[in-house]
Amino acid sequence: DKEKGYIDLSKRRVSPEDVLKCEDRYNKAKMVHSIMRHVAEKTSTPMEDLYKSIGWPLDKKYGSSLDAFRISISNKSVWDEVEFANNVIKEELISYIGKRLTPQPTKVRADIEVTCFGYEGIDAVKNALRQAEARNTEDTQVKVKLVSPPLYVLTSQTLDKTIGITVLEEAIQEVTKAITAAGGTCSVKMAPKAVTENDDAELQALMDKRERENQEVSGDEDESEDDGIVAVDE
């Protein structure tokens, strides 16, 4: 394009796979550049020096400096072959990578209704819900929260959404097994899925609404009891 002063390349003849690869490579390079610029500014080091000693060697070994940065979060040996000009650069880079690239946990949620009209009643419900938390480990924690009987919410936070969903599915199976044995039922109202802050806000609004409704019902019952009191003549 003579008017704009650059070569205008069309994507029409480029395969979708090649487009995705190029975009992925570009996005990774953009993120690496952002990290390098931050370190350069904080340590007063020329960008080219950082690329020569850190960026380009990691690109050559790992295919992308960004991939190497991500691996370094859990495997510090990535830095063994990098020749840092000084410890200030090394510490600033590692610290900033931790802030920018550490995976954030995903919250997974499921909504279930648990009822039991048998002999054990509420005790059977409590015991069944305990089964959801019985297999908790350091890495996978399931929490049970009451919305309003018989609706309960199961939640879990994990770095891997798929694992979180599987954990809740297994927890629901345990709840169902326990409550069924006691003559009750467990109904899934919302299957396990990743949720957002908006979903949490909606849930909190629902819980607040149910709480107000319960308070109103309780108040009505108190008034009814007062109305039924007959004064005793002295």
Higher pLDDT, 138 or 157: 157
Q: Is the pLDDT of residue 105 over 70?
A: yes
| Nearest-angstrom CA–CA distance, 168 and 56 | 43
| Nearest-angstrom CA–CA distance, 158 and 191 | 17
CATH assignment, 106-207: 3.30.70.1130
DSSP 175-225: HHHHHHHTT-EEEEEEEEEE--HHHHHHHHHHHHHHHHHHHHHHHHHHHHH
pLDDT in tens, 47-96: 999 999 999 999 999 999 999 999 999 899 999 989 999 999 999 999 99
Provide the residue ranges of all domains of the chain, joining segments of one domain with +.
18-101, 106-207
Report yes or no: 70 and 101 within 8 Å, Cβ to Cβ. yes
Provide the residue type at 112 as one letter: I
The CATH class given to the 18-101 domain equals mainly alpha
| pLDDT given at position 43 | 96
% of the chain with per-residue pLDDT over 90:
63
For the entire predicted model, the pTM comes to: 0.61
Higher pLDDT, 23 or 114: 114
Higher pLDDT, 125 or 226: 125
Predicted confidence band at 130 (pLDDT cuts at 50, 70, 90)?
Answer: very high
Predicted confidence band at 233 (pLDDT cuts at 50, 70, 90)?
Answer: very low
Give the phi and the psi of residue 152 in degrees, each rounded to 5. Answer: -130, 155
The tokens describing 41, both together, are: 């500014």
Give the phi and the psi of residue 52 in degrees, each rounded to 5. Answer: -65, -40
